[in-house]
Amino acid sequence: MSSLWQKISKNILAPSQLNGNQILDMLTPAGRTSELRRHAASVIMARVQLIAGLFAILVPLGSIVDLLVFDLKTAANLVGLRILAALVFGVLAWPREVSLTRPYAQALAALLVLLLVPSLFHLFSADMLAAASQTRTQQLVTQLYAYLPTIVLGGLAIFPLTAIEAALLALPVITLSLYGVILSGQMTELAQYGGMLWFMLMMLGVAMFSGMSQCHYMATLVVKAMHDQLTGAYTRRSGEDALALLFRLNNMSGKPLTLAFIDLDRFKSVNDSYGHEAGDRCLRTLSDNIRHALRRSDLLIRWGGEEFVAVLPDTPPEYVGSLLQRMRDMGLGLRPDGQPMTASIGIASSMEANTANWESMVQRADQRMYEAKQRGRDGVVWPDGRWQKLTPVSQTDATTSTAG
Ligand SMILES: Nc1nc2c(ncn2[C@@H]2O[C@H](COP(=O)(O)OP(=O)(O)OP(=O)(O)O)[C@@H](O)[C@H]2O)c(=O)[nH]1
C-alpha cells in the first residue's frame, strides 16, 4: 500500500508540483478565498449563461425532428416540453446583476437549474416516448433522448468545480435519470440498466477531473494576476476592484470603510545609494510588516512604486490608531544603513461628507499623505486635518531594535 502511494506521489502528483493544501482545494471549496470564490462564480455564471443562451435557441429547433419522427400527439407534447425548457434557458441566459454578497451561491444555483432542465425533460418524456416508439427510427430517437442526462454530466466538465461540488451537482441528475428509466420500463434488464449507470459515472469521473484541474489552474492564475510579484500585496488593478466591492458592501450595511494611503519616506535615496535590489528588499519588508499589522479582513494594495493603500472595512477612522500603533510597535523595517524606515500616511473615511465613491476616498487619502510629507514626513494626517507624528523621536531607538 505504501509503495502504491509512493508511486502515485512520485509519478502523478509530483510532476504537477501540487502540495497537500492544493490537492485539498481541488477536492472541496471550503478553503477558497473570497476573491477566488468570486472569480469562480463569474466564470461559472458566464458559462451557464452562454450555454443556456445556445440551448434557448437550439432546443426549440429540435422540434422539427419530433414532428418528423413521432405521431402528432407525442410530437406536440414534446414540442410543449421543449418550449418550456427553452423558456427556462432563456431566463437563465438573461443578463443579470451579480449578487454582491453571495455570488458563488447564485452561480451554483444557476448551474443546478441548467443541469436539471434536461434531466426533468427526460423524466417527463421517458414514459411517453417509450409508449410511442414503434418504428426503428422512433426507437433510435428515444434512445438518444435517454442519453440526455449522461450528456449533461459530461457537460459538467467545462465548469471549474471541486470534486465534491461536481458530485453533489451530479446527484440529482443521476437520481432523476434512474427514476426516469425505471418509470419508462425501458431498461429493465440489469445489464442495460447497469451499463447506463456505469456510463454516467464515467462521465462524472471525467467531469470531476476536468473541473478539479480547472480549479487548480484558475487558482494559480488568479493568485498570480491579483498579487504583486515583489511584495505579495494586491496589484493596483485587482485592488481597485476589491476596493470598489468593499465600498459598496460597507455602504449597503452602513458600516464605515477607512483607507490609509502609505508612502515610504525618502525611498529614492535607498535605490540611489544601495541599488535597486536593496530597494526591493525594503519594499518586501515594508509590505510584510504592514500586512502583519493588518487584520485578516483588511487589504493591502500596492498602489504604485513605494505607495501602498491599506483598506480597512468596518472600521471608523478612530480605530485606525490601533493599526498605526501596531505598525509603530513592529516597525516598518530597516533601511540598508540600519535606520528605521518611515512613512507618510493620509487617512480617509467613507463617513466623511461628499464621499460619493471609493475614488474620492483614495484622492483624499492621497492628498493627506502629501500633506504629511509637507509637514515633515513620518506622520499621519487624519480626516479632521489633525497631524500626528508617527515615530516620536524618543522612541526611534526602540523602533530600531524591534524593526525588520
Ligand atoms: N527598488 C525599487 N524601487 C522602486 C520601485 N518602484 C518605485 N521605486 C522607486 O521609488 C522611488 C520613489 O522616489 P520619490 O517618488 O522621489 O519619493 P521618495 O524618494 O520616497 O521621497 P518622498 O516620497 O518625498 O519622501 C524612485 O526612486 C523609484 O525608482 C520598485 O519596485 N523597486
* Domain contains 192: yes
The total number of structural domains in the chain stands at 2
In this structure, the answer to whether residues 74 and 96 fall within a common structural domain is: yes
- How far apart CA 393 and CA 23 sit, in angstroms, is 50
* Domain contains 4: no
Residues of the chain with pLDDT under 70: 1-2, 5-19, 183-193, 391-404
Q: Which of 182, 201, 226 is the last residue of a domain?
A: 226
Query: For a pocket test of ligand 1, which of 228, 261, 277, 306 has the largest count of ligand atoms closer than 8 A to its C-beta?
Result: 306
Q: What atom of ligand 1 comes closest to residue 272's alpha carbon?
A: 27
CATH code, domain with 338: 3.30.70.270
Q: What is the pLDDT of residue 400?
A: 36
- How far apart CA 369 and CA 363 sit, in angstroms, is 10
In this structure, the answer to whether residues 67 and 193 fall within a common structural domain is: yes
Q: How far is the CA of 402 from the centre of ligand 1 (A)?
A: 24
In this structure, the answer to whether residues 285 and 364 fall within a common structural domain is: yes
* Domain contains 40: yes
In this structure, the answer to whether residues 48 and 171 fall within a common structural domain is: yes
Q: What is the pLDDT of residue 398?
A: 41
Q: Which of 226, 246, 276 is the last residue of a domain?
A: 226
Give per-residue pLDDT as tens, 311-347.
999 998 888 888 887 887 888 999 999 999 999 999 9
Residues in contact with ligand 1 (CB, 6 Å cut-off): 230, 263-268, 271, 276, 279-280, 283, 305-306, 373, 377
Q: What is the pLDDT of residue 121?
A: 92
Q: How far is the CA of 385 from the centre of ligand 1 (A)?
A: 26
In this structure, the answer to whether residues 170 and 291 fall within a common structural domain is: no
* Domain contains 2: no
In this structure, the answer to whether residues 214 and 281 fall within a common structural domain is: no
For residue 203, what are the domain limits? 12-226
In this structure, the answer to whether residues 220 and 191 fall within a common structural domain is: yes
Q: How far is the CA of 277 from the centre of ligand 1 (A)?
A: 13
Q: What is the pLDDT of residue 188?
A: 57
In this structure, the answer to whether residues 267 and 394 fall within a common structural domain is: yes
Q: What is the pLDDT of residue 396?
A: 47
* Domain contains 23: yes
In this structure, the answer to whether residues 253 and 212 fall within a common structural domain is: no
In this structure, the answer to whether residues 190 and 316 fall within a common structural domain is: no
Q: What is the pLDDT of residue 274?
A: 95
* Domain contains 6: no
In this structure, the answer to whether residues 252 and 221 fall within a common structural domain is: no
* Domain contains 367: yes
In this structure, the answer to whether residues 302 and 371 fall within a common structural domain is: yes
Q: How far is the CA of 305 from the centre of ligand 1 (A)?
A: 6
Give per-residue pLDDT as tens, 278-295.
999 999 999 999 999 998
* Domain contains 7: no
Q: Which of 226, 252, 268 is the last residue of a domain?
A: 226
Q: Three-state SS across the chain? A: CHHHHHHHHHHHHHHHCCCHHHHHHHHCCCCCCHHHHHHHHHHHHHHHHHHHHHHHHHHHHCHHHHHHHCCHHHHHHHHHHHHHHHHHHHHHHCCCCCCCCCHHHHHHHHHHHHHHHHHHHHHHHHHHHHHHCCCHHHHHHHHHHHCHHHHHHHHHHHCCCCHHHHHHHHHHHHHHHHHHHHHHCCCCCHHHHHHHHHHHHHHHHHHHHHHHHHHHHHHHHHHHHHECCCCCCECHHHHHHHHHHHHHHHHHCCCCCEEEEEEECCCHHHHHHHCHHHHHHHHHHHHHHHHHHCCCCCEEEEEECCEEEEEECCCCHHHHHHHHHHHHHHCCCECCCCCECCEEEEEEECCCCCCCCHHHHHHHHHHHHHHHHHCCCCEEECCCCCEEECCCHHHHHHHHHHCC
Q: What is the pLDDT of residue 179?
A: 80
